[in-house]
Structures are given as structure tokens and as C-alpha cells.
Amino acid sequence: MSLPNSASRRFPRHSAAATVRLSMSANAPKRFELEIPIAHDRELEATKIAEQVAEEMQFGPDCVAEIKLALIEGIINAFEHSGSAMQKVLVEFAIHDEELEVVVQDFGQGFDASSKPAAARPLQKRGYGRRLMESLMDEVKYFTSPQGTRLVMKKRRPKRA
């Protein structure tokens, strides 16, 4: 990636309300953190970064699309269900040797992460988000508390032939 190597730098985005931070050290994975306001279409800012990171990690086009779609679902769920007064969501990308970790953090009331999504009914237009994320990513976990929910999704690099 063409981003500078620094302990922690801020990179302003197109909007004054969104910021990207890059943190790197010799023994830790590269981390990119994006703070986005809860607003229409702001999740698309995160997908641009996800695409760049995934391509840099040499994920194929299908995997890149899966990561982006899972991220959109995670962010929209945070926007719609957090009920947060802070009106922002944090998105973090951690680059590990063999996998990309994507975290979506909201600051709302949390939810019962052990509950299974309701079975979808025919012609139902909503309610597929959690199931979709689980089908697109290799690992999906929720950590929730009264202070918010942390969604952690992982995508492993496909084995090279």
C-alpha cells in the first residue's frame, strides 16, 4: 500500500467528519481505523478502504466483493440497531499474514448476540444481514455490552496453488 509507515497518523477523508488512522509496528498487524458518522451511504467510504486493503493482500475479486458486502451489512446493522447517541461507527481493518480482520464497533445499547436470526419468511425483504455476513466471511463473532456491540469478521486468504 502506498500509505506512510508511522506509529499512528491521521489521514483526512473527503469529509471533515470521517478520518482514517494507520497504526503499524514491527510485531503487530497493520491496522486501519475509520470513524464514520451514522448517515445515508457513509458505509461506502469503508468499502473503498476494504477494497484497497483486500486487493493489497491479494484477495481475488470474488473475495473482495464478499468482504465489501459483509462490511456493508455490518455497518448498516450498526446504523439501524445501535440506538447510539454518539451517531458514529468505528471500522477497523487488521492485516494478518493469512487473514483480514474487519471490525465494526457501535456505541449503542447492545443486543443478545447468542440469539439466532429469525428464520426468513418467503418474500421477506429484510432480516438476512447476520446470515449473509456468516455466509460471506470465514468467521463472524459479536461482542456486546450495554456500551455497544463489536462485530469481528475474518476472511482467510485462499490457499495458493
User: Is-contact 155 60, C-beta < 8 A?
Assistant: no
User: Which residue's entry shows cell 483480514?
Assistant: 100
**At residue 2, does pLDDT exceed 70?**
no
For the full predicted model, state whether its pTM sits above 0.85: no
pLDDT per position as a tens digit, 117-127 = 555 555 555 56
Average pLDDT over residues 67-92: 88
Which residues in the chain belong to E strands, given as ranges? Answer: 9-12, 19-25, 28-37, 88-95, 99-105, 139-145, 148-156
Least trusted range by pLDDT, from 18-22, 61-65, 81-85: 18-22
pLDDT band, very low/low/confident/very high, at 83 (cuts 50, 70, 90):
confident
Instruction: Identify the CATH class of 11-156.
Output: alpha beta
Per domain, the residue ranges of the chain are: 11-156
Average pLDDT over residues 135-158: 93
> Which position has the higher pLDDT, 26 or 67?
67
Strand partners, 45: none
User: Is-contact 149 142, C-beta < 8 A?
Assistant: yes
Radius of gyration, CA atoms only, the chain:
16
User: Is-contact 101 135, C-beta < 8 A?
Assistant: no
Residue 128, pLDDT score? 75
